[in-house]
Amino acid sequence: MGRAGLTKVIVERRAVHAGVGTRELSVEGDGPTVVLLHGFAHPADAWRPVLNRFVEVGQSAVALDLPGFGAADTAEPGPWLPQGDRFLTEAITHHSGNGQVLLVGNSLGAVLTVRAAASPLRLPIRGIVAAATPGMGWTPFVNAALVGNGRTLARIATVGAPHYLRQRSMDRLVGHLLYGDRTALEVPLVRLLSSQLYDRRSTRKLLQHALRMKIEVDAEPLVTGVTCPAVIVHGRRDRIVALESSQILHKAIPQSRLVVLGHAGHCPQLDAPDAIAELARELAMALPGDPESA
């Protein structure tokens, strides 16, 4: 069976964690369940390329829509990270059963992944893979675009243009920001995000949300206390989060492993799904306490 047909094996269902209604994309398999957490403004569908790889190898996994994104309930007013923490804590408890889960997060999802691994609640986490974790360094593009509380980017993104031209421009911009390897670009996945930018009002709202989220993430102290096996991943062509951010996190987590993917961008699960799936499988299959797992 080709990979294009494997998407039919992914099961979509509704779930509730910490009182937040959400959508889950799951695949059946063996081993500890891999819980996949997307980045800002993405839905769980951003993990379909990795879920398809897990189908091939028979790995149990589930991707979640985080509060306020995708088909999940709207987030409550106020700081988002505590809401994300509560949501993920219940999701981990639910999907661990009597065992453990492996957490894999990208960008904002990576922030939650690291926070859960460091939680004093001692959650049943076998290991983590954190890709493009923000908060400790941004690229020159992001720093320049957000000068003046985001007014620079807002002016560019809200310029009036014919719909077809705006759609094409936003598709190209989002593809450029998310992918490092343009040959891996899948238009339907790009449009899951770029479609939120097709009209000026939606664009302005999303940019304001992004700026608030950046301020919240940047204000958090460096996470310490992660003791489970950890792999820190960064795409060499990430145009949003600076490599320095992952390097700092790697140094803060004893015995963690830093993996830099030469041709990947901000979302390695999109343009390097084989690498992400393999890293997750290595941790999922490693024996607890195995030094090679980190």
**What is the structure's pLDDT at 167?**
86
Task: Please report, for the chain, the start and end positions of each structural domain, with discontinuous segments joined by +.
Answer: 3-138+221-293
**What is the structure's pLDDT at 1?**
35
Residue 40 near residue 294, CB atoms below 8 Å: no
Q: Are strands 101-106 and 59-64 parallel, antiparallel or unpaired?
A: unpaired
**What is the structure's pLDDT at 8?**
57
Residue 132: φ, ψ to 5°: 55, 50
Q: What is the pTM of this model?
A: 0.91
25, two tokens: 């994309």
Q: Which burial class, exposed, middle or buried, applies to 128 when counting CB atoms under 10 A from its CB (0-12, 13-18, 19+)?
A: buried
**For 70-106, b where at least 16 C-beta lie within 10 A, e where not — what string?**
bebeebeeeebbebbbebbbebbebbbeeebbbbbbb
Domain 3-138+221-293 has CATH 3.40.50.1820: yes
Q: Are strands 30-37 and 11-17 parallel, antiparallel or unpaired?
A: unpaired
With a cut of 70, list the residues of the chain below it in pLDDT. 1-8, 146-161, 287-294
CA dist list (Å): 114 to 130, 265, 292: 7, 20, 20
**What is the structure's pLDDT at 275?**
97
Name the residue among 117, 122, 93, 120 with its Cα closest to residue 105: 117
